[in-house]
């Protein structure tokens, strides 16, 4: 858990808002990935859609967020679908009231830096056409009933233009209703930099811009340099979106390796050859010690050769996969390029699994590095 200095850094580094469709926190590796984003980006407010969770505890939210100076509001999932979560830093934003319905979860309060009243609405749009119409009507009534600065963000499950999707059906009536909603409420869509699409299917075929930020004109006046950046989606389908004033780069995180060595067939030969090296010690205990030392040094050299460039390999494969995604957003890939992209992604996933296994072995405190892999924890949600 972060200390007081880390908590204060949220407001010092500039206010930021994170939005992400997590598609289920219980998916292996999802909690750790989202937690790393929260710790790196230090958002003042974070909104999550499709949590697929019930009865999220305060301690769980604190672990995800990185400190305890927070408030949160949730809408439970229905069965294995839905679920909304809003988290805010109490030192930055003071919540006065909230609103909740099947399609959105909102908080109203004041920014402590300037005392300005604002309402943040976390939206998860339905797929059903009738429910979409109902959602626009409910949002119309909400916006018309409160005099405040508005920010609506999340996964609207809707595109606005033909260029917002690839290899999926375009519904003109739905698009018109979405555009009309934006127009009559005098909202502005903040452009997203970094990516053209915010959701890409696992097979890389379907791409869509479903996630976005809509703000009122007076809300934009609260930010000196309003911008939205789409972060890499890692191994999952939605890109995290960050609305912020500044951009930060915290660099890579180092790690060491242990048990993963023994998942490779040649490690047995390394151990046998090192153990069989000539030993002239007459004392058996000294001879035994030297044999162990030979094995240790041989394994150290072998692991350096095998895993010394793992971070770079992951980085290169990840970068190549992202480059293919960007190319696919502009022009449809042929079969050969599609196969190359998917093979690159497969190798990236394998390398990521190797790294995850190493981190699990290194961890001395299970929750610190293994909390997102703990199935018993998620069974209690």
Q: What would the pLDDT profile of 196-210 be if each residue is shown by its tens digit?
A: 899 998 777 889 999
> How confident is the model over 13-35, as a mean pLDDT?
88
- Residue 352 belongs to some domain of the structure: yes
Whether 24 shows a pLDDT value over 70: the answer reads yes
CATH assignment at residue 191? 3.60.10.10
Torsion from C-alpha of 64, 65, 67, 68, nearest 10 degrees? -90
Which residue shows structure tokens 């000539």?
278
CA distances from 79 to 24, 375, 380 (A): 12, 18, 15
CA 136, 140, 146, 152 dihedral sign is positive
Buried/exposed 27-51: b ≥16 CB within 10 Å, e otherwise:
eeebbbbbbebbebbbbbbbbbbbb
Q: Are residues 335 and 222 in the same domain?
A: no
| CA of residue 76 relative to chain centroid, distance | 20
Pair 151, 281 in one domain: no
- Residue 373 domain flag: yes
Q: Which of 307, 325, 340 is the last residue of a domain?
A: 307
**229 and 285, same structural domain?**
no
207 and 92 in a common domain: yes
Residues 105 and 35 in one domain: yes
Residue range 340-351, pLDDT digits in tens: 988 898 888 888
Shared domain check, 170 and 88: yes
211 compared with 301, residue with greater pLDDT: 211
How many helices and strands, by DSSP H and E, does the chain display? 12, 16
The answer as to whether 354 is a domain residue is yes
In the numeric block, which tokens belong to residue 181? 């909603």
Q: Is residue 253 part of a domain?
A: no
Tell me: do 281 and 322 sit in the same domain: no
DSSP category for residue 260: G
* Domain presence at residue 19: yes
* One domain, residues 183 and 232: yes
Provide the residue range defining the domain that includes 112: 4-244
Q: What is the mean pLDDT of the chain?
A: 83
Query: Could you tell me the pLDDT band of residue 362, with boundaries at 50, 70 and 90?
Result: low
pLDDT value, residue 18: 97
Residues 6+ apart with CB under 8 A from 107: 73, 86, 88, 93, 95, 97, 98, 119, 120
Domain count, the chain: 3
What pLDDT sits at residue 361? 65
Asked if 144 and 214 sit in the same domain, the reply is: yes
Statement to judge: residues 354 and 228 lie in one domain: no
Structural contact between residues 89 and 7, judged by C-beta atoms closer than 8 angstroms: yes
Q: Are residues 169 and 270 in the same domain?
A: no
Give pLDDT, residue 331: 84
Average pLDDT score over residue span 351-373: 61
Q: Identify whether residues 201 and 296 lie together within a single domain.
A: no
For residue 252, tell me if it sits in a domain.
no
Question: Where among 221, 244, 267 does a domain terminate?
Answer: 244
Domain presence at residue 254? no
């Amino acid at each position: 858990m972060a200390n007081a200095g880390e908590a204060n850094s949220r407001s010092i580094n500039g206010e930021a808002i994170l939005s992400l469709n997590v598609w289920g926190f219980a998916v292996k590796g999802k909690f750790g990935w989202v937690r790393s984003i929260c710790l790196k980006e230090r958002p003042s407010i974070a909104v999550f859609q499709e949590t697929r969770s019930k009865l999220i505890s305060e301690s769980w939210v604190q672990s995800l967020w990185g400190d305890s100076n927070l408030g949160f509001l949730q809408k439970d999932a229905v069965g294995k679908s839905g679920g909304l979560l809003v988290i805010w830093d109490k030192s930055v934003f003071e919540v006065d009231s909230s609103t909740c319905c099947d399609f959105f979860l909102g908080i109203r309060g004041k920014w402590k830096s300037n005392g300005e009243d604002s309402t943040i609405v976390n939206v998860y749009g339905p797929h059903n056409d009738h429910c979409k119409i109902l959602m626009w009507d409910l949002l119309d009534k909400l916006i018309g009933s409160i005099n405040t600065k508005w920010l609506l963000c999340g996964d609207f499950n809707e595109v606005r233009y033909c260029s917002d999707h690839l290899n999926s059906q375009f519904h003109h009536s739905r698009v018109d209703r979405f555009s009309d909603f934006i127009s009559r409420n005098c909202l502005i869509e903040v452009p997203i930099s970094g990516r053209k699409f915010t959701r890409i299917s696992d097979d890389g075929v379907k791409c869509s811009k479903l996630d976005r930020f809509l703000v009122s004109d007076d809300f934009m006046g609260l930010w000196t340099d309003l911008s939205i950046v789409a972060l890499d989606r890692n191994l999952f389908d939605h890109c995290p979106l960050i609305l912020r004033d500044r951009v930060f780069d915290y660099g890579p995180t180092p790690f060491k390796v242990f048990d993963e060595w023994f998942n490779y067939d040649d490690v047995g030969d390394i151990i046998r050859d090192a153990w069989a090296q000539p030993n002239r010690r007459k004392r058996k205990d000294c001879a035994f010690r030297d044999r162990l030392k030979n094995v240790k040094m041989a394994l150290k050299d072998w692991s350096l050769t095998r895993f010394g460039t793992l971070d770079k390999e992951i980085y290169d494969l990840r970068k190549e996969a992202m480059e293919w995604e960007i190319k696919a957003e502009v022009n449809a890939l042929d079969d050969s390029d599609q196969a190359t992209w998917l093979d690159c992604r497969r190798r990236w996933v394998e390398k990521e699994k190797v790294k995850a296994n190493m981190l699990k072995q290194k961890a001395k405190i299970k929750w610190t590095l293994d909390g997102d892999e703990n199935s018993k924890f998620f069974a209690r949600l």
